[in-house]
Amino acid sequence: MSVITIERKVLEKNDAIASRNREFFAEREIFTLNIVSSPGAGKTSILERTLEQLEGGLKVVVIEGDVQTDFDARRVARYNVPVVQIITHGACHLEAKLVQDALHKMDVTGADILIIENVGNLVCPANYDLGESMKVVVLSTTEGDDKPLKYPGMFRNAAVLLINKIDLMPYLDCNLGVLRANALQINPSLRIFETSCKTNAGIAEWCDWLRLNVRARSKGADKA
Amino acid sequence: MSVITIERKVLEKNDAIASRNREFFAEREIFTLNIVSSPGAGKTSILERTLEQLEGGLKVVVIEGDVQTDFDARRVARYNVPVVQIITHGACHLEAKLVQDALHKMDVTGADILIIENVGNLVCPANYDLGESMKVVVLSTTEGDDKPLKYPGMFRNAAVLLINKIDLMPYLDCNLGVLRANALQINPSLRIFETSCKTNAGIAEWCDWLRLNVRARSKGADKA
């Protein structure tokens, strides 16, 4: 029981810092995504395709979270956007404090969107608010259509589901109708896009939706 | 700092129960696998193929760990082996105490192997000893060849790596040579098998190796 109490305290402390991050973003009219998924579902590839689509329009800054290595930050840096890598050294999720620290290391002046790529983990990041505008969960078709029911926390807390690697559908025993139904059973208001970073399917639709949301939620409509 | 101290205490308590589990298995000459992976890498499918291969030979019992649902226990029960489902209700890994509790609910008399399927998570289960003989990490080719370097804890603590879904290789940007080299860089003594639960590639080799290890490590060579 004592462990549960401590966990609650950890979450309360995290939520307090997340609120300060949220104020920081609101003051600067920065729309913030927290991208979550299992390892290898394609978060970084989605981010790369998104940066390509948004180039010349919205100004994007990126925070990369990884257990180990700076591979992802190096991939993202090729797109000429400001990026900070957080290495958690074994910890299984980002916390609001780590994001707060990263914000002190980057210039977010004029940024329209901050994209935070979380650690690859479909369980733990669900409980840690970073101060984001919304969570985006990426699920690969290769993971199977039962995953929303097996890992409901993440799908309940997300606003968007990107069903990724749809180019692999012909080779898999994954039923997209069942996957969608399972996801909507957990969270009926989930906005779903089917994407492929190989064929670019669905990427333009996802980015159009993202632009609309950035314009609607921040006051910076004229920037875009 | 207090959080780190508490985490250490949690791990010490877990390790103490894991030691008792290990004694329990040693007394009964039960070889125990702790199967770990990301969600959807194919742990349950590997387990199903393994049960098919071992049928009529070694006696297997199974503990299924999931955040939510008893889908996997129901899949395994079709193979007529004793199975207990642990639902963690949001927790991101199995702990030794949960396994101890499950053992009280099942008859392991005469069992040669206990296979524990952990929660789908490539980070947290690495640190929680369940009292197993060895950890087996399953990595899907779809997750990419960089994963051993990005999630080193799990690969460092495992004895076996099953590179699964190799049937999908023609459709992926995954280099098996790089994947193997990355895994062996983290853990040079890792035993690697390439498997497919669709074509059954590598399953017989994996199960032959498993039988040899069960015979060598337990004294029950005559049972097999």
Q: Count other C-beta atoms under 10 Å from residue B203's C-beta.
A: 21
Q: What is the DSSP letter of B108?
A: -
Cβ-contact A52, A132 below 8 angstroms? no
For chain A, give percent helix, strand, coil, nearest 5. Answer: 45, 20, 35
Name the token pair of A150: 């097996």
Tally A–B CB contacts below 8 A: 119
Once rounded to an integer, what is the mean pLDDT over residues A157-176?
97
Q: What is the mean pLDDT of chain A?
A: 93
A1-41 tens-digit pLDDT: 334 455 678 889 999 999 999 999 999 999 999 999 999 99
Q: What pLDDT score was predicted for residue A5?
A: 54
- d(Cα B192, Cα B170) in Å, to the nearest integer? 20
Name the token pair of B37: 């992976």
- d(Cα B122, Cα A66) in Å, to the nearest integer? 12
Name the token pair of B198: 């669709």
* Sign of the C-alpha dihedral computed for residues B99, B101, B104 and B105 taken in this order: negative
Cβ-contact B67, B77 below 8 angstroms? no
Once rounded to an integer, what is the mean pLDDT over residues A48-74?
96
Q: What is the dihedral of CA A211, A56, A87, A147, to 10 degrees?
A: 40
The complex's ipTM works out to: 0.90
Q: What pLDDT score was predicted for residue A131?
A: 98
Residue A124 reports pLDDT greater than 60: yes
Q: How much is the pTM?
A: 0.92
What count of residues does chain B have?
224
Instruction: For chain A, give the percent of residues with pLDDT over 90.
Output: 89
Of A75, A42, A8, A67, whose CA–CA distance to A200 is shortest?
Answer: A42
User: What is the C-alpha R_g of chain B?
Assistant: 17
- Using a CB-CB cut-off of 8 Å, the residues of chain B touching A152 are 67-68
* Distance in angstroms between the alpha carbons of the first and the last residue of chain B: 50
Q: What is the dihedral of CA B212, B216, B217, B221, to 10 degrees?
A: 90
What's the gap in Å between the CA of A71 and the closest CA on chain B? 8
pLDDT < 70 stretches in chain B: 1-7, 218-224
What's the gap in Å between the CA of A84 and the closest CA on chain B? 17
CB contact under 8 Å between B120 and A38, yes or no, is: yes
CB contact under 8 Å between A168 and B168, yes or no, is: yes
Residues of chain A whose C-beta is under 8 A from some C-beta in B?
Answer: 3, 6, 10, 38-41, 66-69, 71, 90, 92, 119-124, 127, 140, 142-144, 146-147, 149-153, 165, 167-168, 171-172
Q: C-alpha distances in angstroms, A136 versus A115, A117, A141, B78?
A: 10, 10, 16, 36
A132-145 tens-digit pLDDT: 999 999 999 999 99
Please tell me which of the candidates A67, A124, A150 has its beta carbon nearest to residue B150: A67
Task: Give the phi and the psi of residue B110 in degrees, each rounded to 5.
Answer: 80, 0
What confidence category does residue A120 fall into, taking pLDDT thresholds of 50, 70 and 90?
very high
What's the gap in Å between the CA of B31 and the closest CA on chain A? 28
Once rounded to an integer, what is the mean pLDDT over residues A70-80?
96
Q: Count other C-beta atoms under 10 Å from residue A156's C-beta.
A: 14
Q: What pLDDT score was predicted for residue B10?
A: 82
Once rounded to an integer, what is the mean pLDDT over residues A176-201?
98
Q: What pLDDT score was predicted for residue A177?
A: 98
Residue found by looking up tokens 């699964």 in the block: B164
